[in-house]
A and B are shown apart, each in its own frame.
Chain A
Amino acid sequence: MSDLNDVYNDLIMEHSMNSYNKRKIENADKTEKGHNPSCGDEIELQLKMDGNIIEDIAFTGQGCAISQSSTSIMSDVLRGKTIQEAKEIVKTFIDMIKRETTDEKQLEKLEDAIAFKNIAYMPARVKCALLAWHTIEKML
C-alpha cells in the first residue's frame, strides 16, 4: 500500500470535508445518480450545459472521503470544458486508476484529479475514486 498521506492529502481532504461543489443546480440540464452498493457511497451529479460546453457541474450525496473528494475535484476539472474534452479527461482518469496509462504528458490534462494517482495501488478503494467518473460517463 502506498503512503497514507499520498492518498489523504490536503487537497483531497479539503474537497471531501468542505466542498463548494456540493450543492444543487437550479434548472440543471442533466441529473444522474451513482451508487456503490457494496459500500453505500452515493452521489447525484448535475450538469448545466451551454451548448457544447459544461457551464456548471455540482453534486449532492454521501460517502467516504475518496468518493466525495473525487466527485468534487472532477467537478472543478470538467467545468468549462467541451463534451469532447470532458470525455477524454474521464477516459484518462479511469485509465490512470486502472494503471493502464502512466504517461505523465497524458495525465497532465487531469489537472488536480492527478491527486488520485496512488489510489491505483489500493484495490479496495478504486471503486470509491471511480464512482463519479463512471456516473458522468453516462451523461456525456
Chain B
Amino acid sequence: MISAEEIKKDFLILKDNNIAYLDSGATSQKPKQVLEAVEKYYNTANANPYRGTYKLSESATQEYGRAREVVAKFINAKYSEEVIFTKNASEALNLIAYSYGLENIKKDDEIVISIMEHHSNLVPWQKVVKQNGAKLKYMYINKNYELDLEEIKSKITKNTKIVAITHVSNVLGTINPIKEIAKIAHQNGAIVVADCAQSVPHMKIDVQDIDADFVVFSGHKMLAPLGIGVLYGKKQLLENMVPFIMGGDMIEYVYEQETTFAELPHKFEAGTQNVGGAIGLASAIKYLENIGFDTIHKLEQEIVEYAKQELSKLEYVETYYTPNKENHCSVISFNIKGVHPHDLATILDSCNVAIRAGDHCAQPLIRYMNIPATCRATFYIYNTKQDVDKLVQGLQKAYNMFSKFIH
C-alpha cells in the first residue's frame, strides 16, 4: 500500500513550505499531476468550447465533454448529462433552491434539513421557505453528534417536500445515513438533496445506490483546482426545471421577446465554462482512483485514529466527534479550555500548523452546541503522523502560554 509520505511528494506546496496542512476540509492541496493536466490543456487545447468551427475549439469541446464523462462514471450517474458543472457546491445548492425549490415549494410545505448544515445548504432554503410561505424544519443531533433514526423519522413527514442533508458534517465529521434518509424521504414523497462536499473526497459515492435526487460537491476539496463544482440531478427532474443563470450557449432559439432553452446539460451552463477546471477535476478523479478509495480509507483511518489517540492524551483538550468510528470521517473539532480558538490558530500558525478556527460556516450548529467556536483539524491522504505530532506540540505550547494566566 502507498504511504502518506509517498503521496505527499506529489504536493510541492507541502514539501516547500514544511507545513502541517490540516485544513483540507476548507480546500485540499493539489498534486502536480492535476496542475500538469490543467497546464497541458491550456498549452495544447484551449479555446472557447462549443462556439468555434476550428480545430482548437473542437478540442476544447471534446476535452470538456470527456471531463463530464469521467465525473459521471466516478459517481455512477446513469447519463453524463445528469452532471452539470458549477463553480462549487454552493452554486449547485443555489441552483437547486432557485430552479427546483422556488418553483415547486408551496405554502405550508416543509423543507427538512439538519442542524449540522453548512450555511450553503441552509441559507438558500431559508429564502425558499420565506418567499413561498413554507416551513424549514431541523433534525437535531444526539449526544454522540449523530442523527437518530427516530429523529429523522419524526421530522420527515407527508408534508415534507425536500430533504436537504449533508453527507459528512464539516464541523463534526459525522457521516449521516444518507441512503436511509433518501429512502424515508421517498416514502413520504419528498426529494433528497445530498451535500457531498465533505464526503466525495474521502469515499466512493454511487448516486444510484444512495438514490439521492440531487448530489452536489466541490472540486477544490478533492485535489482539483478552485472554481469547479458539480451538480448531479436525476435526468427527469433536471429536464423539468427552469434555468438558473441565463446567457450564452444555454439557449435554443432567442427571439426579441421569447427564448427556448438548450438540452441538458447546457441548459444549466450559461456563459463560457471553466474547461480548465473541469479537466483538473477529471485529473483529480484519476489521481484518487489510482490510489483507490479502499487505500484512501485505510490511510485516513490510520491518521485520524492516531490524531484522536494523541489528542485524548491532552487532558485540557475537548473534542467533538462521535465515538462510533464507522460514522466518523476526516474532521476533528476541538477546543482548549480557556483559550479562544482564534488565539489557538495563531499560535499553531507560528508552529507551521494550519488549522481552521471559528464557526466553520455552521453558526446554528455551533450555537446548538453552546460553544463560541471550535478549532478544526481536517485530514487528507497526504497527512502524516508528523503532522499530528506538530499539532500536538503546538497545542502544548498554547496551553503553556495561557495556563499561567488562569488564576
Which A residues have a C-beta under 8 Å from some C-beta of B? 1, 4, 7-8, 13-14, 16-18, 38-41, 62-66, 122, 124-125, 128
B347 at interface (Cβ–Cβ under 8 A)? yes
Which B residues have a C-beta under 8 Å from some C-beta of A? 338-343, 346-347, 349-350, 357-359, 372-373, 401-402, 405-407
* 12 additional A-B residue pairs with CB within 8 Å, beyond A16-B405, A17-B405: A4-B347, A8-B347, A17-B402, A17-B407, A39-B357, A39-B373, A62-B372, A63-B340, A63-B372, A65-B339, A65-B402, A66-B343
Tell which of A4, A38, A122 has the most Cβ of chain B within 10 Å. A4
Q: Are B346's CB and A40's CB within 8 A? A: no
Q: Given A65-B340, A125-B346, does the pair A40, B402 have CB atoms closer than 8 Å?
A: no
Chain A residues with CB under 8 Å of B342's CB are: 39, 41, 63-64, 66, 125, 128
Chain A residues with CB under 8 Å of B405's CB are: 13-14, 16-18
Q: With CB as the reference atom, state the residue of chain A lying closest to B373.
A: A40
Q: Are B407's CB and A18's CB within 8 A? A: yes
Distance A128 CA – B373 CA, assembled complex (angstroms)? 15
Chain B residues with CB under 8 Å of A4's CB are: 346-347, 350
Q: Are B401's CB and A38's CB within 8 A? A: no
Chain B residues with CB under 8 Å of A40's CB are: 358-359, 372-373
22 contacts between A and B (CB under 8 A): A4-B346, A7-B346, A8-B401, A13-B402, A14-B405, A16-B405, A17-B338, A17-B402, A17-B406, A18-B405, A38-B358, A39-B342, A39-B358, A39-B373, A40-B359, A62-B372, A63-B342, A63-B372, A64-B340, A64-B341, A65-B402, A66-B342
Distance A18 CA – B350 CA, assembled complex (angstroms)? 25
Chain B residues with CB under 8 Å of A14's CB are: 405
Q: With CB as the reference atom, state the residue of chain A lying closest to B397.
A: A4
Tell which of A39, A122, A125 has the most Cβ of chain B within 10 Å. A39
Smallest CB-CB A-B distances: 6 pairs: A64-B340, A17-B405, A64-B342, A4-B350, A65-B343, A13-B405
Chain B residues with CB under 8 Å of A64's CB are: 340-343
Chain A residues with CB under 8 Å of B357's CB are: 39
- Within the complex, the shortest CB–CB distance from A15 to chain B, in Å, comes to 10
The answer, among B346, B372, B401, for a CB contact under 8 Å with A124, is B346
